[in-house]
Chains A and B, each alone.
Chain A
Amino acid sequence: MARKATPLFLARRSYRRHRLMDAARLLPILGVVLIFLPGLWHPADAGRAETASALIYFFGTWAVLIGLAGALARGLAPALDAEDEAEGSVPATRGEA
């Protein structure tokens, strides 16, 4: 009942939630790109000492991914509670009924 009283608010919130879901789906793809990037830029000129910087790069990337996942998790936790709205592909059939 309360939902129907504030349609604008609902639309906004569920819109935002759907974009958060998109972000959650894209995050692992970003992760794959970032993790395999060094494989591309390492040319075969052996002998240069750059393990330390590679180490910093990997752990930095890792920490950023965890941070992003944490931020998305905060935003997505309510989506799991409101299960009906959680599936972006099915336009809210129950809301119209």
Chain B
Amino acid sequence: MPFNTLVAVSLVYVLFLFLVAFIAERRARRGRLRFLYSPWVYTLSLSIYCTAWTFYGAVGSAARSGLEFLTIYLGPTLVFIGWWWVLRKLVRIGRTQRVTSIADLISSRYGKSNLLGVIVTLMAVAASTPYIALQLQSVTLSFGVFAADTPQFWELPNQSAAALWIAGGLALFTILFGTRNLDANERHHGVVTAVALEAIVKLVALVAVGIWVVWGLADGVGDMLARIDASTLATWQLEPGRFAGFTFVSAAAVLTLPRMFQVLVVENTDERHLVTASWAFPAYLLLMSLFVVPIAVVGLERAAPGANPDLFVLTLPLSEGWGRLALLAFLGGFSSATSMVIVAAIALSTMVSNHIVTPLWLALSRGPAERGDVRGLVLTSRRLSIAAVLAMGYGYYRLSGGSEALASIGFIAFIGAAQVLPALIGGIFWRGATHTGAAAGLIIGFAIWLYALFLPSVGETGLMSAHMMDEGPFGLGWLRPQALFGIEGLDPLIHALVWSLMLNTLAFLILSMLSFPGPVERLQGVAFVNVFEGRSGARGWSRGQAEAEDLLSMAQRILGAQEAQLFFQAQAAGQGIRGFLPDPTPDFLAALERKLAGSVGAATAHAMISQLIGGAAVSVQDLIAVANEAQEIKEYSAQLEAQSDELARTARALRAANEKLTSLSVQKDAFLGQISHELRTPMTSIRAFSEILMEPDLPEPVRAQYAEIIHEEARRLTRLLDDLIDLAVLENRKVDLNISVANLHDLINRAAHAASSTRPERAFRFERDFPTEHMAVFTDTDRLVQVFINLIANARKYCDAEAAVLRIEVKRRKNRVQIDFIDNGAGIPKAQQGLIFEKFARLTDTSKAGGAGLGLAICREIMANLGGTIDYLPGQGGAAFRIVLPLRRRGDEPGRAG
């Protein structure tokens, strides 16, 4: 197998993965992704558990220490067949709390404390960096196997260059497909599809090599078993301590490794997928390990002494002249490494950006009033974090010089990740677990792991001198890193595992029992532990002083304008309010916080909302509700609550209607006076001037001038009456629509031109995006232009900015088009927003407006006739109106238009 072919094949494979991810993203965007929601894709994506360490390393481990490699697979098997205990609860909590990472889960459970999020993030980065380096190493090593016959290509500089290229390519892929959307609860379809595909490749590769070994090189199963007993593996003895310890730590790691948590909980779309994964994922693991021992035994038989057993999967087919099989095995190993690195980078970057970068930025920038795009900031910080994580992996690889020291890093990373286990399990099963306990346990466990396992593993060149290893720091014998408290003779891994997890758990339990949790923490404790009891649990916000409009402008910066507006609209509709501004009830605030948490993590979301609400977030009543655990009362009060919710909604709707009626009636009275006045003024002047005209000897110029005035006043009267008639026709839906096709861009141009006569003297600028405007609309174009003219003229009239700017944004949403007219003036006060579309409404004095206040009322009726809507859009920094228009009216065919 020539080396160049190999490089070409890997490049083609990588391109293929990009293509698959790209197509999956596109299909997802068009809503055609039913296969993506299958439990099989979920199960396959879990296979990132099997990294290159297990793909290549399992055979090496079997060759060195017999069946011990099975522990790595048996631990997760136990967790998955026991899904009813832990996994089901984790996934449910992940979905209800919109958890974005394992750090977010811990931080959210213990009172949305960002400190815990930072601790877990740092631990995860420390444990994962060497693991990512290990993946890079395994890919470069496997390249090296193929380059063995052309060594000039494979000097060390070239190896590093290869690792750099791989790290760069992975960073590119992850950034492209991993940071598309901000909400971590939205799945990364491209990534998940590519990972599922790679899962199949690695399984097929390993099974193919295995079948070839058992039925090609050996003579079937019977012969194989005989060979196993004849090999050096036959004398393997099961060491119960190591066996149990490794099984336990693998079981813990499958829950707590950041990348496993990402695919297991964050990317889960449907709890029912767990049902399939509960047996299918163990079955996948079984197939992955079925042929490990045969490959190891035959490899030991045939390989040259001193050959690296870690690479038997590759070298065995290669040395027997099965180049294509070796190539397949190479792609399997490549897949294992790349899929792990991609998902790990996504998980770590989410944690780093949500728990370190964003809170820092929030702390540094003063208050939420400052306008800034948080969304862009978070996405950028996520992209940079991905690049940083991969750069650190590469750096570690360069530093360790690709040495053997990396080989043991798998379990070291597992034990590091397992430190989160007490806080995690305690957090979801025990309401007494507290923030203090969790922090103490995590820090102690992490410290012991660093001291007793991680630093010694870096080697003598690292921080631990041989002297310190033998004598302990400052000659304190009982502090020797691998013989803490004088207990010697333990396996270093087991030694570190036992001490770190034991002291971690002890600290967690004891301090939890001694300390007292804060209010938010207690609420979150109930929400997590009792997640199955139907109640959404923690509401956490007493009625706040926040203005819904402030909340909306904040939410827009995080979720994006469209998503935030849809969410607010839906929440308002749930409260029986039309428009974009729901009342800031505790329920609404809790829902908003959860929604934001899906993007920036629970701690940050909580902090941002409390910035706006100001002060204490939990009321005494809420805490009493927590303390009150009697099930019947809860049930009963839940029913009452549902009823009173319903009542409150009706009452709110009634109150709104009543307020509107009252103010309308006041307005109507005012209008009657006003319309009389409006009618009388021109009438008076018409009468007066016509009387003058009756005088016989008036000079001709004066007569002409007076006639002109009479004419002008008569026109004003006609216009007013026309408007009233027009409105009456529109309201009765008796209007004849003249449907035709037109380009939206031309219509806006027409309107802008027609409206230019309104206050022509003032500086007025349009901000438009022409390409988006080119769109065919099928409607009554004259009526639509009338609406546009009205909005533009209003902006020209009322926008009080020094240099008035009107922004027109056109967006297509499915079969509707949405046109926003946003100016940079002071906007419309909230109290008036509900009234502006009513007849005769006018915010300023008559003389300035020069009309009877019918414009927006006519606009609303026109839009209703056209099958669309017009609404005031709050929180845009100026007066903003949104028109939504169907591209084609329902039931209208081009043929019978008109």
Q: A residues within 8 Å of B by Cβ?
A: 21, 24-25, 27-29, 31-32, 35-36, 38-40, 42, 44, 46-47, 49-52, 54-56, 58-59, 62-63, 65-70, 72-73, 76-77, 80-81, 84, 86-87, 90, 93, 97
Question: B80 within 8 Å of A by Cβ?
Answer: yes
Indicate which residue in A25, A50, A72, A93 contacts B631 across the interface (CB closer than 8 Å).
A93
Q: Which residue of the partner chain B has the closest CB to A41?
A: B238
Pairs across A and B, CB under 8 Å, 9 listed: A31-B78, A35-B78, A46-B235, A51-B67, A59-B290, A62-B77, A65-B77, A69-B278, A73-B275
A51–B78 CB distance below 8 A: no
Is A32 within 8 A of B233, CB to CB? no
Q: Which of the listed residues A35, A52, A63 has the most CB atoms from chain B within 10 Å of its own CB?
A: A52
Given contacts A36-B240, A36-B244, A59-B290, contact A28 B78 (CB under 8 A): yes
- The answer to whether A31 and B84 touch across the interface, beta carbons within 8 angstroms, is no
**Distance in Å: Cβ of B375 to nearest Cβ of chain A:** 34
With A51-B229, A51-B236, A54-B67 given, name 13 new contacts (CB 8 A). A28-B78, A35-B74, A36-B243, A36-B244, A50-B229, A50-B234, A51-B235, A58-B67, A62-B74, A62-B286, A67-B279, A69-B278, A73-B278
For residue B642, give the distance in angstroms from its CB to the closest CB of chain A: 12
* Given A49-B229, A55-B293, A59-B286, residue A69 in contact with residue B81 (CB < 8 A): yes
B residues within 8 A CB of A24? 82-84
- Known contacts A49-B229, A55-B228; is A27 also within 8 Å of B238 by CB? no
List the A side residues contacting B83 at CB < 8 Å. 24
CB pair A27 B67 closer than 8 Å: no
- Contact flag A66-B279 (CB < 8 Å), given A21-B84, A52-B228: yes
- Mark each residue of chain B from 48 to 72: 1 if its CB lies under 8 Å from any CB of chain A, else 0: 0000000000000000001100100
Contact A69 B67 (CB under 8 A): no
Measured between beta carbons, the chain A residues less than 8 angstroms from B635 are: 93
* Cβ–Cβ < 8 Å partners of A68 in chain B: 81
- Are B237 and A25 neighbours in the complex by a CB distance under 8 Å? no
Interface residues of B (CB under 8 A from A): 66-67, 70, 74, 77-85, 225-226, 228-230, 233-238, 240, 243-244, 247, 271-272, 275-276, 278-279, 282-283, 286, 290, 293, 532-534, 631, 635, 639
Residue in B78, B84, B229, B290 whose beta carbon sits within 8 Å of that of A52 in the complex: B229
B85/A76 in contact, CB under 8 A: no
CB closest chain-A residue, reference B243: A39
Report the minimal beta-carbon distance from A32 to chain B, rounded to whole angstroms.
6
Closest chain B residue, CB of each to CB of A47: B235
User: A61 CB to closest chain B CB, in angstroms?
Assistant: 9
A66 to B233, CA, bound (A): 27
For A46, what are the chain B residues with a Cβ–Cβ distance below 8 Å?
235, 237
CA distance A54 to B66 in the complex (A): 10
Known pairs A38-B238, A77-B272; A28 contacts B85 (CB<8 A)? yes
Q: Cα distance A35–B77 when bound, in Å?
A: 11
Q: Give Cα A86 to B89, complex, Å.
A: 13
Q: Which residues of B contact A40 (CB under 8 A)?
A: 240
Cα A72 to Cα B293 in complex, Å, equals: 30
Q: Given the complex of chains A and B, what is the CA–CA distance between A72 and B74 in angstroms?
A: 19
Q: How far is the CA of A35 from the CA of B79 in the complex (A)?
A: 13
Chain A residues in 8 Å Cβ range of B279: 66-67, 69-70, 73
Query: A42 near B80 (CB under 8 angstroms)?
Result: no
With the chains together, A69 CA to B278 CA distance in Å?
7
- A72→B83 CA distance, assembly (Å): 11
Rounded to whole Å, the gap between the CB of A14 and the closest CB of chain B is 16
Closest Cβ of chain A to B227, distance in Å, is: 9
What is the number of contacts between chain A and chain B, taking CB atoms within 8 Å? Answer: 117
A54–B338 CA distance with the chains assembled, in angstroms: 33
Query: In the complex, A51 Cα to B224 Cα: how many Å?
Result: 12
Q: Which residues of A contact B228 (CB under 8 A)?
A: 51-52, 55
- Nearest to A31 among chain B residues (CB) is B78
Contacts A36-B240, A51-B234, A93-B631 given; does A25 touch B275 at CB 8 Å: no
* Cα of A21 to Cα of B243 in the assembled complex, Å: 29
Do residues B80 and A69 form an inter-chain contact, with CB atoms below 8 A?
Answer: yes
In the complex the two chains form, what is the Cα distance from A87 to B92 in whole Å? Answer: 13
**Among A65, A80, A90, contact of B271 (Cβ-Cβ < 8 Å):** A80
Q: Which residues of A contact B272 (CB under 8 A)?
A: 77, 80-81
A63 / chain B contacts, CB cutoff of 8 Å: 286
CB neighbours of B240 from chain A (8 A): 36, 39-40, 42
Q: Which of B77, B236, B271, B275 has the most chain A CB atoms closer than 10 A to its own CB?
A: B275
Shortest C-beta distance, A16 to chain B (Å), equals: 15
Contact partner of B238 among A54, A69, A90, CB < 8 A? A54
> Contacts A54-B238, A62-B77, A68-B81: A87 and B276 contacting too (C-beta < 8 A)?
no
Determine the distance from Cα of A93 to Cα of B630 in the docked complex, in whole angstroms. Answer: 13
A69 to B280, CA, bound (A): 9
A72 to B237, CA, bound (A): 34
The answer to whether B282 and A28 touch across the interface, beta carbons within 8 angstroms, is no
Q: Which of B81, B275, B282 contacts A80 (CB 8 A)?
A: B275
A25→B85 contact, CB < 8 A: yes
| B293 close to A42 (CB less than 8 A) | no
Give the shortest distance, in Å, between A23 (CB) and chain B (any CB).
9
Task: Find A28's partner among B70, B81, B244 (CB 8 Å cutoff).
Answer: B81
What residues of chain A lie closer than 8 Å to B80, measured between beta carbons?
Answer: 69
A56 to B224, CA, bound (A): 12
The complex places the Cα of A89 from the Cα of B639 at a distance, in Å, of: 20
CA distance A24 to B70 in the complex (A): 23
**Complex interface: chain B residues within 8 A of A77 (CB):** 272, 275
Inside 8 A of B236's CB, which chain A residues have their CB? 51, 54
Measured between C-beta atoms, what is the minimum distance from A41 to chain B in Å? 9
| A58–B70 CB distance below 8 A | yes
A35 to B534, CA, bound (A): 37
Q: Kindly list chain A residues whose C-beta atoms are within 8 Å of the C-beta of B229.
A: 49-52
User: In the assembly, what is the distance between CA of A29 and CA of B78, in Å?
Assistant: 8
Whether B631 contacts A27 by the Cβ 8 Å rule is: no
Cβ contacts under 8 Å, A51 to chain B: 66-67, 228-229, 233-236, 293
| A27-B275 contact in complex given A46-B235, A49-B234, C-beta closer than 8 Å | no
Q: In the complex the two chains form, what is the Cα distance from A65 to B276 in whole Å?
A: 14
Whole-angstrom CA separation of A50 from B84 in the bound complex? 35
Complex Cα distance, B83 from A21, in Å, reads 11
Q: Output the nearest chain B residue to A35 by Cβ-Cβ distance.
A: B74
Nearest-neighbor residue (CB-CB) of B88 within chain A: A80
Q: Once the chains bind, are B238 and A28 in contact (CB under 8 Å)?
A: no
Option from A25, A39, A62, A84 in Cβ contact (under 8 Å) with B84: A25
B282 — which chain A residues lie within 8 A by C-beta? 62, 65-66, 69
Per a CB cutoff under 8 Å, which of A31, A66, A84 touches B82? A31
Which residue on B lies nearest to A21, using beta carbons? B84
> Are A32 and B631 in contact, with the CB atoms below 8 A?
no
Task: Assess whether B275 is in contact with A35, with CB atoms less than 8 Å apart.
Answer: no
